């Protein structure tokens, strides 16, 4: 303990490693020697003034060194590790064994783990309850809650693997560690022997997705739960309502895009038609998240960002600040918003299942500070009346005033220090989630904030204790953790769900490390980045459309009848000169390919001979995300479509004649080669929109569809051959060489 004068009292208020030194001063011996940052509060008895005193302590470990086997590379990295000698190998006899006394709690984790091992292609272990034998994986809840907390676990890899935690989430995180180890083994079976204690540095490790301005399917959100869990990211915030900028729509509020994404029975006019989640879908999403250790944080954003509300209820729109602002001096505004929250919060089985709910509350005009503060306080208490804790966006420095706003049971996303000064918010009693916009906001293709986060800078320099230019002491209990965000400010700009994932994935890999382990001084960014390429999204997921192979040619189908293609409908192989080619005879002709799609960077090459008089929108290739069309609408040109948007290359493909086609795609453009010659490059384009010479960037990217050739109802009719798919972008010379091949 630090020495202080006699007229002071001293209190330990924080530790940046609660699994080694707890807030009450209990010390749990780590495996390795560690430095722990403690935060003390010294209070003067005479006037109750206080100062904070940070102290760094070295705690000796139970082992003198890191042992024999090197610490395995995991994202986020293991906090403690001592390597033994040799390897553990999974076999066909290996089982997942659940401790008998914990069977009712852990069976769900065991079942998910079993399915993941099958998806990974490792083995098909049985799940049993009982005592482990050599070769098994044993999961139990024998851990000390004070030591391991909600999320920590101990891991032993010896004759059998043991994952031991105090709560479900800790065990589940341990299974993610095992999966990542196996994924990096060529045979998906071998793990280095050793022991580990693993636990998070920060409680909140989150990602926020703006689904209000851009609709994402419920299946996409379900996949993101699994993706986040694979990296031990525990908070998934869904920004359920918002709207685009009126300036992009000729300053006409009625035509400005807005979204509200959750079924509402009391106000059925509120959810966006065709683009919302049913209550059952949303509840099922949360049930899935519970089994994966992820908290769903639903956000209904009021009283700004609320055009969806005022379109449904014009009488509560602000007449002074724009229709995306609710009139917070109108009692009916309170009634409607109360009823919306009530529908999702009331009853024994509420729609919002988790303990925290986000109520938005930011970016309202500061002239209404007192009314805004009253509104915020009212809805904090309204949501809390249903037994929930509340999250809000930081706004109280912007909206200064004398109206008190509840801080007990409220956590604030500290996103911009001009809107909420982090130090002042701490003084007011608000725990903070570090969400600095200047570092952690992705706004795809907008031209401001980040298109892709600067992950190298974040890896080397950021931790949640840094909020803007304010840096808190390590271990400060008011910093709950951090969160990054994707804001889809520019609605209808061509950004697809796949484009969003292209931006999110590298950020998740880096930020999961920073929020679980803190700054890694052992592994440099370049080494981390290189090794991270060997860890993907988690078993059963391929959101990035990766196709791996020994070389860049991942698919080579002459389409002559000898390829491994499942038999399609209304297709046959016909002679064409000395070879056979695939002939699609009808508008219902199609064959199934072994993949769904390929993501950036790729080259897809094929030769096509369309018959005369193909229909509009005749499909050449299709996936569940996109179609490539011989004739895009009425244009007659080769093109593609996804998420309701149509693009064409401005070039028609000759009929009754063989043409050599190649398409390349990256995260910024889609390029067509016709007969080996560059024909058209579609790239992000600045398009005039709205008023006052306003413009937005429109993207023209494509995850190339590879699920089927043709389509059940509107296939192109004609012949196709020589399909080649590369997981790289070929040069013009290489594409020319493919054209010459026969």
Q: Is the peptide bond before 76 cis (omega within 30 degrees of 0)?
A: yes
CB distance 700 to 682 below 8 Å: yes
In 696-731, where does DSSP find H-type helix? none
CB distance 117 to 176 below 8 Å: no
- The tokens describing 294, both together, are 């992820």
**Dihedral sign computed on CA atoms, order 542, 543, 545, 551:** negative
In 204-253, where does DSSP find H-type helix? 218-230
Distance CA 147, CA 660 (A): 64
Under DSSP, the state recorded for 511 is H
Mind telling me the catalytic residues?
363
Triad 660, 663, 664: Cα angle to 5°: 140
CB distance 140 to 130 below 8 Å: no
Triad 111, 116, 121: Cα angle to 5°: 130
3-class SS at 647?
Answer: strand
Phi, psi for residue 40 in degrees, rounded to 5: -110, 155
Bridge partners, residue 369, by sequence: none
Strand order in the sheet with 50-59: 8-15, 34-44, 50-59
What is the longest distance spanned by two Cα atoms in the chain? 101
Distances (CA, A) of 142 to 7, 108, 704: 44, 17, 49
3-class SS at 705?
Answer: strand
Secondary structure string (H, E, C) spanning 1-55: CCCCCCCEEEEEEEECCCCCECCCCCECCCCCCEEEEEEEEEEECCCCCEEEEEE
- The tokens describing 248, both together, are 């992009």
Distance CA 449, CA 431 (A): 25
Cα-Cα end-to-end distance for the chain:
80
- Number of C-beta neighbours around residue 11 at 10 A: 11
Counting other chains too, the contacts that 148-153 makes at CB distance below 8 Å and 24 or more residues apart are: 148/19, 148/197, 148/199, 149/18, 149/19, 149/199, 151/199, 151/200, 151/203, 151/232, 151/234, 151/293, 152/19, 152/197, 152/198, 152/199, 152/200, 153/197, 153/198, 153/199
Pick the closest to residue 704 from 531, 555, 535 (CA basis): 555
- The tokens describing 514, both together, are 């920073």
3-class SS at 383?
Answer: helix
Distance CA 635, CA 650 (A): 8
Q: Which residues contact 369 (CB under 8 A, 6 or more apart)?
A: 398, 399, 400, 401, 403
- The tokens describing 674, both together, are 């016709």
Which single residue is written with the structure tokens 């500061």?
366
């Amino acid at each position: 303990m630090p020495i202080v004068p006699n007229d002071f009292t001293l209190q330990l208020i924080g530790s940046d490693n609660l699994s080694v030194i707890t807030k009450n001063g209990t010390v749990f011996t780590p495996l390795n020697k560690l430095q722990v940052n403690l935060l003390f509060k010294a209070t003067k008895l005479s006037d109750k003034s206080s100062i904070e005193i940070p102290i760094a302590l070295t705690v000796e470990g139970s082992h003198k060194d890191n042992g024999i086997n090197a610490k395995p590379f995991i994202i986020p990295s293991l906090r403690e590790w001592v390597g033994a000698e040799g390897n553990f190998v999974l076999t066909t006899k290996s089982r997942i064994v659940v401790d008998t006394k914990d069977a009712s709690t852990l069976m769900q984790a065991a079942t998910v783990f079993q399915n993941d091992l099958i998806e990974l292609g490792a083995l098909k272990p049985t799940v049993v309850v009982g005592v482990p034998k050599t070769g098994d994986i044993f999961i139990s809840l024998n851990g000390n809650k004070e030591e391991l907390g909600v999320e920590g676990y101990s891991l032993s890899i010896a004759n059998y693997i043991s994952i031991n935690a105090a709560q479900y989430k800790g065990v589940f995180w341990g299974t993610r560690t095992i999966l990542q180890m196996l994924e990096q083994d060529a045979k998906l079976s071998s793990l280095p022997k050793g022991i580990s204690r693993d636990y998070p540095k920060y409680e909140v490790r989150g990602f926020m997705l703006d689904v209000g301005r851009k609709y994402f399917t419920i299946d996409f959100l379900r996949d993101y739960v699994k993706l986040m869990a694979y990296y031990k990211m525990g908070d998934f915030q869904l920004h359920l309502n918002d709207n685009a900028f009126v300036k992009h729509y000729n300053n006409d509020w009625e035509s400005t895009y807005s979204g509200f994404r959750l079924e509402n029975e009391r106000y059925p006019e509120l959810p966006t038609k065709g683009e919302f989640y049913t209550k059952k879908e949303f509840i099922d999403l949360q049930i899935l998240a519970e089994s994966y250790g992820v908290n769903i944080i639903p956000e209904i954003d009021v009283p700004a960002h609320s055009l969806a509300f005022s379109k449904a209820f014009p009488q509560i729109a602000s007449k002074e600040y724009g229709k995306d602002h609710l009139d917070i001096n109108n009692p009916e505004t309170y009634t409607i918003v109360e009823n919306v929250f009530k529908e999702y919060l009331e009853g024994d089985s509420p729609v919002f299942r988790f303990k925290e709910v986000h109520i938005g509350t930011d970016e309202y005009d500061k002239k209404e500070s007192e009314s805004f503060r009253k509104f915020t306080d009212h809805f904090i208490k309204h949501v809390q009346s249903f037994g929930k804790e509340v999250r809000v966006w930081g706004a109280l420095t912007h909206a200064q005033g004398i109206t008190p706003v509840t801080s007990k049971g409220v956590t604030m996303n500290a996103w911009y220090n001009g809107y909420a000064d982090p130090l002042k918010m701490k003084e007011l009693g608000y725990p903070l989630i570090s969400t600095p916009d200047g570092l952690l906001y992705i706004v795809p293709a907008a031209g401001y904030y980040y298109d892709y986060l600067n992950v190298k800078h974040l890896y080397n320099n950021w931790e949640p204790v840094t909020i803007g230019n304010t840096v808190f002491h390590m271990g400060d209990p008011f910093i709950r953790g951090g969160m990054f965000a994707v804001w889809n400010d520019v609605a209808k700009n061509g950004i697809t769900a796949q484009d969003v994932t292209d931006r999110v994935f590298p950020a998740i890999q880096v930020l999961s490390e920073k929020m679980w382990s803190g700054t890694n001084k052992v592994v440099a960014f370049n080494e981390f980045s290189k090794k991270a390429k060997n860890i993907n999204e988690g078993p059963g997921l391929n959101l990035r459309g990766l196709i791996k192979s020994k070389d860049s040619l991942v698919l080579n189908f002459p389409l002559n009848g000898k390829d491994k293609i499942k038999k399609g409908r209304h297709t046959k192989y016909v002679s064409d000169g000395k070879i056979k080619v695939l002939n699609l005879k009808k508008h219902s002709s199609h064959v199934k390919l072994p993949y769904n799609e390929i993501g950036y960077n790729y080259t897809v090459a094929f030769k096509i001979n369309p018959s005369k008089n193909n229909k509009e929108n005749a499909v050449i290739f299709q996936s569940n995300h996109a179609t490539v069309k011989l004739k895009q609408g009425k244009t007659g040109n080769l093109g593609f479509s996804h998420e309701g948007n149509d693009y064409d290359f401005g070039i028609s493909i000759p009929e009754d004649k063989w043409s050599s086609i190649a398409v390349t795609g990256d995260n910024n453009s889609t390029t067509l080669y016709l007969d080996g010659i560059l024909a058209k490059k579609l790239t992000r384009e600045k398009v005039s929109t709205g008023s006052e010479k306003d413009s937005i960037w429109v993207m023209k990217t494509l995850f190339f569809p590879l699920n089927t050739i043709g389509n059940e109802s509107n296939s192109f009719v004609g012949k196709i051959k020589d399909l080649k798919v590369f997981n790289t972008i070929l040069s013009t010379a290489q594409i020319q060489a493919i054209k010459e091949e026969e």
